[in-house]
C-alpha cells in the first residue's frame, strides 16, 4: 500500500515471488515518487524520468534535449567540481547513464548501498541547480557530434531516420533527435543564437518537478527512504508546466501506400512493412498488438515465417508495435531476406497480407488470448529478480504511462479478452495503410533521393492496394494456418526440497565420457533450471575449414529445431547452441517442468543430424554476408578482433575462414559431421530446481545417445586430446604494436586498443588489478573523453583471456589518430601514478572497502549464479569460492598498485 496525493491508500500490484516493499508518495513540489525497499540488496539505485524528449526540440536546434541530457552530468552549484558525480558513482562500485527518447529523458545510477545517500544527493542536483558551464558546453557538443558520427554507418539508425523522414514535416516524429556539431553549434551561431542560453531556456521551460517521476531503490525501510527523498528532492523546482503529448498522426494519405527502396551499408536484404495503429497503451489490458505480434511473429509450423523459411526466402522475422508516442504508433513486420527472397519480393509481401487475411477471417480466438495471458501471468509471478538499476529504469518509464496499480506490470499482463479491440487493430493492417521499406545493396546506383541526416540513398513510389491484391492472387498459398495449442506451458511449478544446502557445485558423476557438476537452487525458490553441456570436440577448430563447418553445423541445428522449440521459448523454456574454440555448447534453461522433453529433442537432432541441401545453401549465404559485413564493424571492434587474433591459440583469421567458406559444399559437411562427433567429451552443469537423480538421468540419456549402441556415434577422448585454452605470453618491458588500416574506407573513425597483459589467475594479484581498474576507470574516461574529447567511445576495463588477466583501454575517435591517442594514454598513466603515490591512507581505505562491497555482492537470480559457476567450470579454474577468497584478500593495506603493470 502507498500514500496518494490525498493520503488515500494506493495499491501497487506485485509478483507473488516479490519480497520487496513499495510506497508511492507525492512531494509538496508535485514530484511523484515510488519508493522500493529491499533489505537483501547490495546495490541501491535511482531513476528520474522527465516528460520531455527530442519531440520538444526547438526548430533549428535539433538534438537540444539530447545535448541537455549530456550536460547535466558535469557539475552543479552544490558539487561544482566537473564530473565529480560520475567519479563518486564509479569509485563506489556503481554505474550511471541516461537516454533521450521522443517524449522522455531518463537518468539513472546504482551504487554500493553504504554510499547511496550521498550519491542520491549528487544525483538530485541535476534537477535542482546544475551549472552547465560555457566550457563544458563546447566540449559536450563535440561529444554529441562524436556519438552521431558513430551512428552514421548504423543501418538501424539510417532506416529509422528514413521512416521518420517520410512522414509529415510538421509532425515532431519527423525530427532528427541525436543532434550534431552543425545543429548545435554552426547553425545556431549563423542565426545569432547562443546554444548555451537556449539550453538554459529549454531546461527552465521543461524540467519542472510536476513533469518528473522518480524511483528510489533503497536498502533501508520505507520510512527512512521517504525521509531521505523528501529532504533531497523537495528542492527540485516546480514551475507547473503542463505535459502535452503529441496527439495528431505523423502519416497523412501521401505517406501511406508507399514502396521505398533504400540502400544499406551492410550486405543483405530486408523488408519492413508498417501500418499506423492505435498504441497498445490505450488498451494495455486487452493487448491487441501483443496478440497480433504473437501470431504474425510466430515461427511454428504453418506460420508466416515457417512458410517463408520453407521457400528459402527468409532467415528471420519479427512483428510487433514499434516507435511512436502516447497517441500514435506503428505495427511493423520485419523480415531478413535471402537472395532468393529478394528476387521474390512481391510474393513475400503477398504472403504477409495472406496471413493477415487469414487472421481477419479467423477473428480473435479466445483460446489463443487465454494461452498468451496464462504464459504472461506465469512469467510475471516467477520473473527473475533483476538488477536494481535495470528495475528502476523500467518502473520509472512505466510511471508516466500507467496508473500506480500497474507500475510494476506495465503492459505485460493482458487480462481482458476483447475481440472487437483486437480486430480493430487487425483491420488497420491493410494494403491501403501500408508503408513498405525494401532495403538492399542491390539498389545501389538506382535511387533518386537522399535522406539528409544520414545520407541514405532511396527512391519512393506509390503502391496501390490493387497491385498488392494482384500479388496475392499470384503468390503461393503455402498452407498457412494458426498455431496449435502450446504443449510446453508449465503446469508443475512446485519447488523441490533440497536436503543439502550446498553453496557450491559438486562433482556428481564422472566417467570417461563426461563430467557432471551439480548445484541445486538454495537461494531463489524458483521453478526453473539450467542444463549446460559443453561438447568438447578436438576436430572442431583444426583448420579454417573445420571452424567454418562447425559453425554451419551449429546454425543448421538451430534452424532444424526452430519450429519445434519456438513454443518452448514462448512458454519460458529456451535453448541455445553456440560454437567455440574447442567444440560447441548446448544450454537449455527456464521452467524445469518440461525441460527434459526439449533437451532430448535437441540431442536427437544432434545424433540424427542430416544435411538438408536447401537449408545448407541458405545458411552458407547467411555466413557469406556476415563475413562480407565484418568490414562494416566499428573500428574499435576491428581492433579488438586483431588483438584477439594475435593473442589466441588456434585462431583463424576471417579472411582464411571466408576463403574456406567459398569452396565448401554439402558433401564437405556430410563428411565432417561424423568426424566432428567421432571423439567428444561432455562437460556438464545442471543447476536450479532439479534434484540430483534427475540431473544424472538427463546426462545419462545424452551419454547413451552418443556413446552406446552397436555403432556408437562418439568415443571417449584420448588423454592427449583434452586441450587447454592458452594465449600468447607477452614479455615484460616490451611494447608490441600492430597497425592495420580500417576495413571501411568511408568510416572517418579510427581506434586504439591498448592491452596490458598482467598475470595468470591468482587471488592477490586479481584484487590488485581490480582495485587499480576501480581507481583508474573514471579518471581515464574523464581525461581522455570529457576533457580531451578524443572520442565518444572511451573505456578502461579488466580482461580475462584463457585465465590470464589484463587491462584494456579502448578509444574510438574521429578527430585524432591512434598514435596520438596512445601518447595521451601514456601521459594519463604518468599522471595517475603520481596521484596513486599521493593518495592518503583514508582515501585508499575507502577504495578498498568499495571493492570489497562489489566483490561480495550476492547473486540476484539463478542466471547470475549459473554464469559465475559455469565460467569457473568451462575455464577449468574450478575456484567456486573465488568471491570469498578474493574478498578476504581485499583487506590488504599499502599495496604498490602501479608496480603491478608492465606496458606490453
Are 317 and 335 a contacting pair, CB within 8 Å?
yes
Residue 82 annotated as catalytic = no
Are 90 and 104 a contacting pair, CB within 8 Å?
no
Separation in Å, CA 200 to CA 64, 186, 204, 206: 10, 18, 6, 10
CB atoms within 10 A of CB 807: 20
Residues facing residue 215 across a β-bridge: 34, 47
Please measure the distance between the N-terminal and C-terminal CA atoms of the chain and give it in whole angstroms. Answer: 58
Are 56 and 66 a contacting pair, CB within 8 Å?
no
Phi, psi values for residue 534, rounded to 5°: -95, 115
- Which residues have C-beta within 8 Å of that of residue 496, sequence separation ≥ 6? 520, 689, 690, 691
Burial tier of 761 (Cβ tally within 10 Å: 0-12, 13-18, 19+): middle
Residue in 32, 69, 185, 872 annotated catalytic: 69
Separation of alpha carbons 762 and 765, rounded Å: 6
Are 537 and 586 a contacting pair, CB within 8 Å?
no
Spatial CA neighbour of 312 closest among 670, 715, 619, 752: 619
Separation of alpha carbons 178 and 57, rounded Å: 10
Are 250 and 167 a contacting pair, CB within 8 Å?
yes
CB atoms within 10 A of CB 604: 12
Separation of alpha carbons 473 and 741, rounded Å: 52
Separation of alpha carbons 453 and 422, rounded Å: 37
Residue in 49, 62, 82, 140 annotated catalytic: 140
Separation of alpha carbons 796 and 786, rounded Å: 14
Separation of alpha carbons 779 and 781, rounded Å: 5
Residue 788 annotated as catalytic = no
Separation of alpha carbons 676 and 552, rounded Å: 12
For residue 505, the SS3 value is: coil
- Which residues have C-beta within 8 Å of that of residue 317, sequence separation ≥ 6? 297, 299, 304, 305, 308, 333, 334, 335, 336
Residues catalogued as catalytic: 69, 140
Amino acid at each position: 500500500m502507498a500514500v496518494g496525493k490525498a493520503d488515500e491508500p494506493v495499491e501497487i500490484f506485485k509478483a507473488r515471488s516479490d519480497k520487496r516493499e513499495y510506497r508511492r508518495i507525492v512531494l509538496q513540489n508535485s514530484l511523484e515518487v515510488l519508493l522500493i525497499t529491499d533489505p537483501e540488496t547490495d546495490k541501491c539505485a535511482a531513476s528520474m524520468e522527465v516528460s520531455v524528449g527530442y519531440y520538444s526540440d526547438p526548430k533549428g536546434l535539433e538534438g537540444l534535449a539530447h545535448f541537455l541530457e549530456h550536460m547535466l552530468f558535469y557539475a552543479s552549484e552544490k558539487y561544482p567540481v566537473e564530473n565529480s558525480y560520475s567519479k563518486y558513482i564509479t569509485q563506489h562500485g556503481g554505474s550511471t547513464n541516461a537516454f533521450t527518447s521522443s517524449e522522455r529523458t531518463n537518468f539513472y545510477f546504482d551504487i554500493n548501498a553504504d554510499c547511496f545517500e550521498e550519491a542520491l544527493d549528487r544525483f538530485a542536483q541535476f534537477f535542482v541547480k546544475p551549472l552547465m558551464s560555457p566550457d563544458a558546453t563546447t566540449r559536450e557538443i563535440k561529444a554529441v557530434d562524436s556519438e552521431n558520427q558513430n551512428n552514421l554507418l548504423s543501418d538501424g539508425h539510417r532506416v529509422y531516420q528514413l521512416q521518420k523522414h517520410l512522414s509529415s514535416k510538421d509532425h515532431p516524429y519527423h525530427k532528427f533527435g541525436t543532434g550534431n556539431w552543425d545543429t548545435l553549434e554552426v547553425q545556431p551561431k549563423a542565426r545569432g543564437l547562443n546554444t548555451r542560453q537556449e539550453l538554459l531556456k529549454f531546461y527552465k521551460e521543461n524540467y519542472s518537478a510536476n513533469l518528473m517521476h522518480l524511483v528510489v531503490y533503497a536498502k533501508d525501510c520505507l520510512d527512512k527512504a521517504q525521509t531521505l527523498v523528501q529532504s533531497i528532492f523537495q528542492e527540485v523546482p516546480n514551475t507547473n508546466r503542463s505535459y502535452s503529448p503529441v496527439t495528431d498522426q505523423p502519416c497523412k494519405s501521401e505517406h501511406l501506400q508507399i514502396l521505398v527502396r533504400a540502400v544499406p551499408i551492410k550486405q543483405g536484404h530486408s523488408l519492413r512493412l508498417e501500418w499506423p495503429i492505435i498504441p497498445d497503451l490505450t488498451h494495455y489490458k486487452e493487448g491487441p498488438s501483443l496478440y497480433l505480434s504473437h501470431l504474425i511473429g510466430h515461427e511454428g509450423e504453418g506460420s508466416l515465417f515457417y512458410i517463408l523459411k520453407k521457400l528459402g526466402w527468409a532467415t528471420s522475422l519479427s512483428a510487433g508495435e514499434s516507435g511512436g508516442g502516447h497517441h500514435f504508433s506503428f505495427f511493423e513486420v520485419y523480415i531478413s531476406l535471402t537472395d532468393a527472397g529478394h528476387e521474390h519480393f512481391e510474393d513475400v509481401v503477398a504472403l504477409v497480407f495472406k496471413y493477415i487475411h487469414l487472421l481477419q477471417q479467423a477473428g480473435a480466438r479466445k483460446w489463443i488470448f487465454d494461452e498468451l495471458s496464462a504464459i504472461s501471468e506465469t512469467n510475471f509471478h516467477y520473473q527473475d529478480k533483476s538488477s536494481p538499476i535495470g528495475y528502476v529504469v523500467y518502473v520509472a518509464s512505466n510511471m508516466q504511462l500507467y496508473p500506480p496499480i500497474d507500475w510494476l506490470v506495465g503492459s505485460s499482463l493482458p487480462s481482458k479478452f476483447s475481440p472487437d479491440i483486437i480486430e480493430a487493430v487487425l483491420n488497420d493492417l491493410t494494403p491501403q495503410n501500408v508503408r513498405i521499406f525494401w532495403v538492399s545493396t542491390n539498389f545501389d546506383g538506382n535511387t533518386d533521393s537522399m535522406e539528409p541526416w544520414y545520407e541514405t540513398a532511396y527512391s519512393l513510389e506509390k503502391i496501390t492496394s490493387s497491385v498488392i491484391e494482384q500479388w496475392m492472387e499470384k503468390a503461393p498459398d503455402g498452407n498457412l494456418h494458426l498455431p496449435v495449442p502450446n504443449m510446453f506451458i508449465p503446469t508443475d511449478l512446485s519447488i523441490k526440497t533440497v536436503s543439502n544446502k550446498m553453496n557450491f557445485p559438486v562433482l556428481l558423476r564422472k566417467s570417461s565420457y563426461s563430467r557432471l557438476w551439480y548445484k541445486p537452487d538454495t537461494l531463489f525458490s524458483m521453478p526453473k533450471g539450467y542444463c549446460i553441456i559443453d561438447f568438447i570436440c578436438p576436430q572442431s577448430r583444426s583448420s579454417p575449414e573445420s571452424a567454418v563447418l562447425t559453425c554451419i553445423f551449429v546454425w543448421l541445428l538451430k534452424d532444424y529445431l526452430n519450429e519445434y522449440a519456438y513454443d518452448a521459448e514462448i512458454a519460458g523454456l529456451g535453448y541455445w547452441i553456440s560454437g567455440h574454440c574447442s567444440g560447441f555448447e548446448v544450454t537449455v534453461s527456464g521452467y524445469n517442468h518440461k525441460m527434459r522433453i526439449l533437451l532430448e529433442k535437441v540431442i536427437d537432432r544432434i545424433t540424427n543430424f542430416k544435411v538438408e541441401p536447401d537449408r545448407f545453401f541458405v545458411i552458407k549465404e547467411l555466413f557469406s554476408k556476415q563475413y562480407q559485413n565484418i568490414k562494416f564493424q566499428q573500428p574499435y571492434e576491428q581492433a579488438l578482433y586483431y588483438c584477439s587474433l594475435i593473442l589466441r591459440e588456434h585462431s583463424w583469421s576471417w579472411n582464411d575462414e571466408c576463403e574456406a567458406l567459398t569452396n565448401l559444399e554439402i558433401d564437405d559437411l556430410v563428411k565432417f559431421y561424423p568426424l566432428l562427433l567421432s571423439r567428444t567429451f561432455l562437460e556438464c552443469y545442471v543447476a536450479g530446481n532439479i534434484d540430483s537423480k534427475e540431473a544424472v538421468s538427463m546426462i545419462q540419456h545424452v551419454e547413451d545417445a552418443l556413446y552406446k549402441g552397436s555403432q556408437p556415434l562418439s568415443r571417449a577422448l584420448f588423454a592427449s586430446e583434452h586441450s587447454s585454452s592458452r594465449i600468447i605470453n607477452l614479455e615484460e618491458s616490451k611494447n608490441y604494436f600492430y597497425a592495420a588500416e580500417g576495413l571501411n574506407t568511408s568510416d572517418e573513425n579510427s581506434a586504439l586498443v591498448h592491452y596490458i597483459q598482467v598475470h595468470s589467475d591468482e587471488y592477490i594479484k586479481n584484487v590488485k588489478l581490480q582495485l587499480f581498474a576501480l581507481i583508474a576507470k573514471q579518471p581515464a574516461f574523464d581525461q581522455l573523453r570529457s576533457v580531451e574529447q578524443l572520442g565518444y567511445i572511451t573505456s578502461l576495463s579488466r580482461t580475462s583471456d584463457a585465465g590470464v588477466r589484463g587491462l584494456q583501454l579502448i578509444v574510438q575517435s574521429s578527430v585524432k589518430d591512434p598514435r596520438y591517442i596512445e601518447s595521451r594514454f601514456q601521459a594519463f598513466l604518468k599522471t595517475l601514478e603520481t596521484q596513486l603515490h599521493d593518495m592518503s591512507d583514508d582515501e585508499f581505505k575507502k577504495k578498498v572497502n568499495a571493492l570489497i562491497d562489489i566483490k561480495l555482492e550476492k547473486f540476484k537470480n539463478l542466471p547470475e549464479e549459473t554464469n559465475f559457476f559455469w565460467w569457473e567450470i568451462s575455464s577449468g579454474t574450478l575456484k567456486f569460492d573465488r568471491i570469498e577468497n578474493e574478498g578476504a584478500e581485499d583487506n590488504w593495506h599499502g599495496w604498490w598498485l602501479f608496480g603491478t603493470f608492465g606496458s606490453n
